[in-house]
Amino acid sequence: MMLLDVRPHTHPAGPSPSAISADESPGPETYVSPPYLLRTKIHVPSNATQWPAHSHPEHELLWTDRGVVTMFADGRQWTVAPGVGLWVPAGVEHEGSSRESTEVRATYFAPETWNKAWDRPVAVRVPPAVRELLIHLSRAPMSKTERLRAQQVCMDMLELTDDVGVDVPIPHDRRLAFLVEMILSDPADDRTLEQWASLLNMTSRTLTRVFSTEIAMSFAQWRRLVRMRAALGFLAEGTSVKVVARLVGYSTTSAFVSAFRKTVGHTPGEFAEHL
């Protein structure tokens, strides 16, 4: 079952006024019922999962406790790993996939109660305290007052993060479609700019110009970014730095560590320690 299919069930009778269950029943088109602020759905698929393009009438924070989710939103590819979530505003179309046994969490927020100006997909820090509280809210019975107070604490603690970038801009020029598809599916592909230009039936100068115009970076910079985002996913799964280096196209571990630090701001080991 996909996360998109996990809809809350409607209870035949309303809860008592003193003890509101963790599984509040929203309306047919939403996950969050007034006067509540948010609601978290937990999903642990046994197999890799695909989400087709879709949108929600509520804001969504997609995050994980284990494993990696890859999402496409706002013309960019995002890697969601433990500790960093993806904020998707209400109405923004997104699609993606998760790997096997990824512990996916989706927290939905009522737009009318959200007061931060996050009007486009952004990376959001999800500290351990917030993760634990969101899971507790999804399972534990509480009074209405207690639930609202705990939900507000979660909202107050969420903040944007620049520590670990998780987005890769996607060129939309049709001439680059095959190149983009191939490198996103295999970041270790080491064909040169000239080889790609020949394969795409264009000059290397034209290919360079298209990349610069589309995403304001060179082909080499873009491919390194793709490789580092793939590396984040492998590291989050516990793969050794040496193996990750090979999986994302580096012949030596030292070259990979240097590129990772330059791009992400931390060494792979430092990143893994914070998972």
At residue 259 the predicted structure's pLDDT band, cuts being 50, 70 and 90, is very high
As a whole-number percent, the residues of the chain with pLDDT over 70 amount to 87
The pLDDT value recorded for residue 24 is 47
User: Residue 3 in contact with residue 40, Cβ under 8 Å?
Assistant: no
Determine whether 70 is exposed, middle or buried from the number of CB atoms within 10 Å of its CB (0-12, 13-18, 19+): buried
The pLDDT value recorded for residue 63 is 94
Q: Where are the beta strands (DSSP E) in the chain?
A: 38-43, 49-54, 59-66, 69-73, 76-80, 84-88, 94-98, 103-109, 122-125, 159-160, 167-169
Q: Is the pLDDT of residue 123 over 50?
A: yes
The pLDDT value recorded for residue 1 is 25
More confident residue, 18 or 165: 165
* 53-99 confidence digits (pLDDT tens): 999 999 999 998 887 888 999 989 888 888 889 999 999 999 999 87
- Burial track 50-66 (b if 16+ CB lie within 10 A, e otherwise): ebeeeebebbbbbbbbe
Kindly report each contact of residues 240-244 with a partner whose C-beta sits within 8 Å and lies 24 or more positions away, as own/partner: 241/268, 241/269, 241/272, 244/268
Q: What is the mean pLDDT of residues 20-27?
A: 42
Lowest pLDDT segment from 12-16, 134-138, 160-164, 203-207: 12-16
The pLDDT value recorded for residue 10 is 30
At residue 224 the predicted structure's pLDDT band, cuts being 50, 70 and 90, is very high
Q: Is the pLDDT of residue 17 over 80?
A: no
Give me the residue label for tokens 């990376």: 123
Q: What is the pTM of this model?
A: 0.73
